[in-house]
Structure 1
Amino acid sequence: MASESPVDLPAVTVQAQAVEEGESDLHTPTTSGSRLELSALQTPASTSSLSGAEVRGRNNLTVQDAVTRTPGISSIGSPGNGGTALSARGFTGHAATMQLYDGTRQYVGAGTVTFPVDTWSVARIDVLRGPASVLYGEGATGAVINVVPKKPFAGEIRNQLRLGYGSDDRRQAALDSGGSLSDELSYRFNVNQQASNGWVDRGDSDSVALSAALRWDAHDDLSFTLSHDHGDQSPMRYLGTPLVAGKYRESIRERNYNVADADIRYNDQITRLVTDWRINDTLSASNQLYYIKTQRYWRNAEAYRWQPGDTVERSEFYRIKHTQEQVGDRQTFTLDHALFGLDSRTVVGVDYNRIHFARQHDFASSFSDSVPLAGSGGGQYQSTDPLGYGPRERNLARQFSLFAENRTQLTERLALVTGVRRDQVHIQRDNLVNGSSADRSLSGDNWRAGLVFALTPDLSLYGQYATSTEGVSNLLTLNPTQQQFDLSEAKQTEIGLKQVFWGGQGEWTLAAYHIVKQKLLSRETPTSPTEQIGQQSSDGLEATLELALGRGWQVSANAALVRAEYDDFVEGGGDRSGNRPTDVPRRTANLWLNKALGGGVEAGIGARYVDARYADSANTAKVPGYTVVDANIAWQALPDVRLGLELNNLFDRQYATSASSDGEQWYLGAPRSFFVTADYSF
């Protein structure tokens, strides 16, 4: 018979409302670190959790804005990757930083993810740093981001209406509504419409995000939730600013050198049916059946190079359309049981996805034109592609996985958390131009093992070993040559401390890790054939502090240090061994201070720091580091009316978030702006 333990396994719950109210802490179950319903203190990994209230209370317009306020994650977004690419623990892009929506993986086509649109419908964001293929399959060497949407809840119907207006004619109209329709039925509905004229010439943008869910509690132990999420975006058609003689020139900050008829559009739809069934006191089951459809369209001149005489040469005239459909199902069973007389919980499951990806385009690779540096682009999109605009490829991927996780209480204070996963993926690529076809089956086996020692109920020491696998590029769009390579392999060792102190008023975490990724595409010499012989590694430290100081003061701070390098990497341009990978800052840090001023007034100010990065693997093009300060103030004018003022980039810092591969074209961050909001609850 298992003995009682002060570190109890948490109960499985299907209630969603609690996790979106107020702030999360180390005792709150995290959705990204495990499917075992473990809190951060019980998880042998570095995790962060942000409630929806925290996300929207810190001027975060996008999920990426929110995520980069957590330790060690920086943005490298641009229109080409949907504006959502991230850098974490020395690894970059969507192949290494996986994004989930309510636990469902969105497979990446051609390096692009475009959903969710904004943070209005977000109930919670959970971040897991480090390899996570054992949980979510191929990919995710650097981090996993799980965006949990607002969900139906039982009780009186509550509504929140927001209207907002600010700099560059930015405007917002949003509604959040939810509650019980009957004893068995509850709902949640969110809609958010935003638009702006933009901070660059011809920088207008607009978006609409809609989220609707209906929950039926058929029985005390059985519920069904049907949801549909829709996003339609036309982001700013700004592709970057050229350097002038290798230097940034402030006078052209607001210039937009794209063509006048440039176009970018993203349309995303996710429909899901979730079934939660508590079979008995020890066994529960959950099933998520989903359909995801994404359409993306670009028509731009994407490369700008300064030329003597103060002209800008434009090239890379690209017109591209992606159509992607994903049908999948995930079934899990959770069992509380005894293992060799010890308290234990096990999750077993199966995951299946069928993904279609089609691409049509024209690439005017040889065409270029020139526009004045002092002007602002213009002209019409032109293409010299002899094939014109039309279908080029059609890809099909079938993925099947078996996975299991277990947590066993070895002693009153020591717990073992383990996981295994087997992935099988079959990829087929059809070339619609010449009629050729290529296919390949790839498999990956991953596992992790971690120990958590509860020094006290509020202080945990942990250590873990985890593995991950990645395609040499995005699996959906591997070309026939890339298909011949195996999956890259990564392994991580990590140790850390987590503590809640001062009667729950404070918490801190510290993590140290070492990651090695092998089977990178590399060469013996710059002229040798490409082989899978390269290696990349990173070592790092991450620390966080959350503290309520009294008198209305609250502090949230974190910092990360990473030493990343190519251990063995040769490309056509030369030997890059010992160099730092592109888009990887050595240091990042965040600070946010809140103060309740009395009379229903609250104020906040925060700073985000990102160290310098290299734009190329040769480490010859450096992008400067930056610190950006944001602030806000809110007033509860009436019990049901709240007014707010956001000030972004308070000191009008001019900085680059990312750069082209040669570092001669920077994608700039937005200048100083304000935004006024009025919220009415009823």
Structure 2
Amino acid sequence: MTMGATAPTHAQSAEDAAQLSPVTVTGSSDEAIGYVAEQTSTATKTDTPLIEVPQSISIITEDQIREQGAQTLNQVLRYTSGVAPETRGATASRLDQFTVRGFSATTLLDGLRVFGSRDALPQVDAYRLQQVDVLKGPSSVMFGQGGPGGVVNQISKRPTADARNEVELQAGNFDYRRANFDFSGPFDESGQFLYRLTGSGYMSDGQLNETKERRYFIAPSFTWQPSADTRLTLLANLQRDPHMGSYGSLPRVRTLVDAPDGHKLGPDFYDGDAGFEVSDRRNHSVGYDFEHRFNDAFTVRSNARYLHAEGIYRSVYSNGYVDGSNNNLLTRSKGGTDVTMDTYAIDNHAQGKFSTGAIEHTLLAGVDFAHLNSDTLSSSFDAAPPLDIFNPDYHQNIGSLNWISDTNQRQYQTGVYLQDQIKIDRFSVLLGGRYDWSRTLSNGTNLTTSAPTSSATRAEAFTGRVGFIYNFDNGIAPYVSYAESFEPQSGTDANNKPFDALEGEQYEVGVKFQPPGTKSLYSVAAFDTRRKNMLTTIPGCVGSGCQEQTGELRTQGLELEARGEFARGLSVIANYSYIANEYTKDNATPSRPSLEGTTPYGIPKHQASLWGRYQWQSGPLAGLSLAAGARYLGSNSGGTHNAFKVPAATLVDTALDYDLERANPALKGMTVALNVNNLFNKEYVASCYSEDWCWYGYQRSIRASLRYRW
């Protein structure tokens, strides 16, 4: 996707606010124009203004997604405080791997969890989205099991009451070609029936030699709104990703560290086998989003989704150098899976608004349920032929896979939650609690011995949160909050007692500032986030049952974010993050020193970014927009017990677009655009898990487009 002029433009949107009534879009949040969204339901499942939410949340709007040329969720998150995207570098084209505040985050689509087996897990293309909400910190009260990093909610495009149509063609380096279409509007004059049909297809060479990327999807949606109080939206998607690059890695020597002969492995070096590599995913889904308002006080909502996904994965990947090869031969392994999965998720809740004297309440009560049924055929990870880095052969006889297990897994989660948003004049209190029951059942066959296998894990947990915020007349809003999360884990301790769930908790203080009458939002947040009950090895223990739950991982940090329209035609996004992430509790064993005091790999302590876009409003340059951004990725730790550092990198992005109607009225609706990411083609390593596994970041990406809207 590329940047382009919007209708209305960012500058026009603030000026015309008094004349234009806001377009209400079905779903979990209102459509935002420009870089600032006024409200979202992700934080509270009610339409609460951001300035009244006592928790840090960043919203990436559709305008930002398009103008920055984002195609994957990782790329969408590049200019977001507290987020470390693309932790596995250019392999992020295949999977959405990132951290929020130093921890994993739960990925949602339209408020419902996206979960399942990795090799079949669907990836949402950014062209499908109208915005992405990043709610930072533990969020189990609203969404059930998940890590303490927070949730990232991807919100699908919805039918619109006004007709909007566009087609777009794109081309770029790496033999990139793409076609997009998006048609939306009413079926009838009264606007009772609305539709939207969004689709795209693209093909490209992968960044690594001998690899390629392909994706095709179509996403129809339909809204029935018989009255102002009732709305039903149906959402569907059909997608195929027959090729999605490589998931391999390279050793530290010849990437971060020079070898004696000076030969380096560049960011395009492929460690796999083109004749063996397979990453073929397909999925289809259907769901609904329903809301009915009985009166001004009482509203019910329900949303659900069924998803079927399949994945075929085959890979040859490197594991460092063959001993005695003088760092010339890569030792490699092979593995694969065949996965089929079905997931179902539903969330129902009722909202009531009432007053008790001078106190206003917005009470929310709900129940949600999620189910996964997956079948996974897995191979062992066996040796594959080594690869000569000076004369690589990417079509070797890899041999067949050794299939070792065939497993059916069923996961169930049920949660009930209650929340009260209490408001006394300008002082607001957010109280929430939830109880969850989680169950995982696995049954299968060990194909090596033909023996049946089975396991069962159960967990239940209460999580809560509380927040306080005061909204001054001048737009300043200080707040303080506490929130919890939980994550079930399998296994038993020395007494054969099932392990308790991982627990997350966060204390946060911050200030938000939204100057009255402006389209800008500033925020500062300081936080202390912890993951507890982590498994550690009992010192001196031999045999089974040698783990206990005494580990802890902690993040202390600071985030600053500013976004908005600061002058007519000038939009800016700026942020800075300080993430001090380390293990605070761990056991030492004879074979392994304690992790205490060390940092997980791939998490920079310092990150900062700045993006600005200017659109000329008049004169000979009217219709032209220029944008530029810089991203600073601080150094991060790599290797066992932080054995080395991965250097920092600064990347520059730029974009421009031009409304061709300004040059010739006959070209009304046509826009040309250009996006260049990593403008100076900075060669950098994103992270290193170990001496043997490092990942290069993205090289320079060039995308040109022609879009027609009517």
Question: Does TM, normalized by the shorter one, top 0.5?
Answer: yes
Residue 13 of structure 1, CA deviation:
7.0
> In structure 1, how many angstroms separate the alpha carbons of the residues matched to 2:474 and 2:194?
36
> In structure 2, how many angstroms separate the alpha carbons of the residues matched to 1:32 and 1:383?
48
> In structure 2, how many angstroms separate the alpha carbons of the residues matched to 1:56 and 1:406?
36
> In structure 1, how many angstroms separate the alpha carbons of the residues matched to 2:345 and 2:517?
44
Q: Is 1:344 equivalent to 2:361 in the alignment? A: yes
Residue 615 of structure 1, CA deviation:
3.1
Tell me the amino acid that sits aligned with residue 696 of structure 2.
L
- Aligned residue among 651, 654, 677 for 1:648: 677
Q: Deviations over 1:362-389 (max 9, x none)?
A: 1233x2322211234413463576xx33
> In structure 2, how many angstroms separate the alpha carbons of the residues matched to 1:229 and 1:137?
25
Q: Does the 8 A contact of 2:105 with 2:147 survive in 1?
A: yes
Task: Name 2:395's counterpart in structure 1.
Answer: 379
3-state SS in 2 of match to 1:619 = coil
Residue 453 of structure 1, CA deviation:
0.6
Q: Is 1:581 equivalent to 2:607 in the alignment? A: no
Query: Using a 3 Å threshold, how does the CA distance of structure 1 residues 579 and 501 change in structure 2: closer, same or farther?
Result: same
Task: Name 2:19's counterpart in structure 1.
Answer: none
- Aligned residue among 298, 301, 315 for 2:316: 301
Residue 238 of structure 1, CA deviation:
5.0
Query: Using a 3 Å threshold, how does the CA distance of structure 1 residues 413 and 100 change in structure 2: closer, same or farther?
Result: same
Q: Which moved more, 1:322-331 or 1:560-569?
A: 322-331
> In structure 1, how many angstroms separate the alpha carbons of the residues matched to 2:56 and 2:515?
18
Tell me the amino acid that sits aligned with residue 197 of structure 1.
D
Q: Does the 8 A contact of 1:100 with 1:146 survive in 2?
A: yes
Report matched runs for 1:223-622 at 5 Å.
223-233=231-241, 234-244=243-253, 247=257, 250=264, 252-261=266-275, 262-307=277-322, 308-339=325-356, 341-365=358-382, 367-380=383-396, 382=398, 388-389=402-403, 392-409=406-423, 411-433=424-446, 434-456=451-473, 458-472=475-489, 478=490, 484-501=498-515, 503-525=517-539, 529-550=546-567, 552-570=569-587, 572-597=591-616, 598-622=621-645
3-state SS in 1 of match to 2:481 = strand
3-state SS in 1 of match to 2:127 = coil
Note the residue ranges of structure 1 that are not aligned, 5 or more in a row: 1-10, 473-477
Q: Is 1:133 equivalent to 2:161 in the alignment? A: no
3-state SS in 1 of match to 2:30 = helix
- Aligned residue among 185, 191, 213 for 2:199: 191
> In structure 1, how many angstroms separate the alpha carbons of the residues matched to 2:583 and 2:273?
38
Residue 399 of structure 1, CA deviation:
1.2
Q: Deviations over 1:25-84 (max 9, x none)?
A: 36x112321112112111010001111111111121212111231101012247599421
Q: Which moved more, 1:222-231 or 1:520-529?
A: 520-529
Residue 112 of structure 1, CA deviation:
7.5
Query: Using a 3 Å threshold, how does the CA distance of structure 1 residues 37 and 381 change in structure 2: closer, same or farther?
Result: farther
Q: Does the 8 A contact of 2:318 with 2:332 survive in 1?
A: yes
Q: Does the 8 A contact of 1:641 with 1:678 survive in 2?
A: yes
Query: Using a 3 Å threshold, how does the CA distance of structure 1 residues 209 and 649 change in structure 2: closer, same or farther?
Result: same
3-state SS in 2 of match to 1:54 = helix
Residue 360 of structure 1, CA deviation:
0.7
Query: Using a 3 Å threshold, how does the CA distance of structure 1 residues 314 and 14 change in structure 2: closer, same or farther?
Result: same
> Scaled by the length of structure 2, what TM-score is found?
0.87
Task: Name 1:4's counterpart in structure 2.
Answer: none
> In structure 1, how many angstroms separate the alpha carbons of the residues matched to 2:23 and 2:354?
14
> In structure 1, how many angstroms separate the alpha carbons of the residues matched to 2:581 and 2:633?
15
Tell me the amino acid that sits aligned with residue 133 of structure 1.
S
Query: Using a 3 Å threshold, how does the CA distance of structure 1 residues 614 and 231 change in structure 2: closer, same or farther?
Result: farther
Q: Which moved more, 1:350-359 or 1:664-673?
A: 664-673
Q: Deviations over 1:382-418 (max 9, x none)?
A: 3576xx3375211111111101211111x31111011
Q: Deviations over 1:628-655 (max 9, x none)?
A: 1110110001230000011121111111
Q: Is 1:674 equivalent to 2:682 in the alignment? A: no
Tell me the amino acid that sits aligned with residue 531 of structure 2.
K
Residue 293 of structure 1, CA deviation:
1.7
Tell me the amino acid that sits aligned with residue 336 of structure 1.
K
Q: Does the 8 A contact of 2:120 with 2:340 survive in 1?
A: no
> In structure 1, how many angstroms separate the alpha carbons of the residues matched to 2:530 and 2:397?
44
Q: Is 1:41 equivalent to 2:64 in the alignment? A: no
Tell me the amino acid that sits aligned with residue 699 of structure 2.
P
3-state SS in 1 of match to 2:472 = strand
Tell me the amino acid that sits aligned with residue 674 of structure 1.
I
Query: Using a 3 Å threshold, how does the CA distance of structure 1 residues 610 and 111 change in structure 2: closer, same or farther?
Result: farther
Query: Using a 3 Å threshold, how does the CA distance of structure 1 residues 479 and 296 change in structure 2: closer, same or farther?
Result: farther
Q: Does the 8 A contact of 2:279 with 2:314 survive in 1?
A: yes
Residue 314 of structure 1, CA deviation:
3.3
Query: Using a 3 Å threshold, how does the CA distance of structure 1 residues 214 and 145 change in structure 2: closer, same or farther?
Result: same
Q: Does the 8 A contact of 1:301 with 1:314 survive in 2?
A: no
Q: Deviations over 1:325-367 (max 9, x none)?
A: 11222111111112465111011111012211221121233x2
3-state SS in 1 of match to 2:514 = strand
Q: Does the 8 A contact of 1:579 with 1:617 survive in 2?
A: no
- Aligned residue among 30, 36, 55 for 1:19: 30
Report matched runs for 1:68-147 at 5 Å.
68-75=78-85, 76-77=87-88, 82-91=94-103, 96-110=104-118, 113-116=121-124, 118-147=125-154
Query: Using a 3 Å threshold, how does the CA distance of structure 1 residues 535 and 237 change in structure 2: closer, same or farther?
Result: closer
Residue 319 of structure 1, CA deviation:
1.2
> Scaled by the length of structure 1, what TM-score is found?
0.91
3-state SS in 1 of match to 2:340 = strand
- Aligned residue among 42, 63, 79 for 2:73: 63
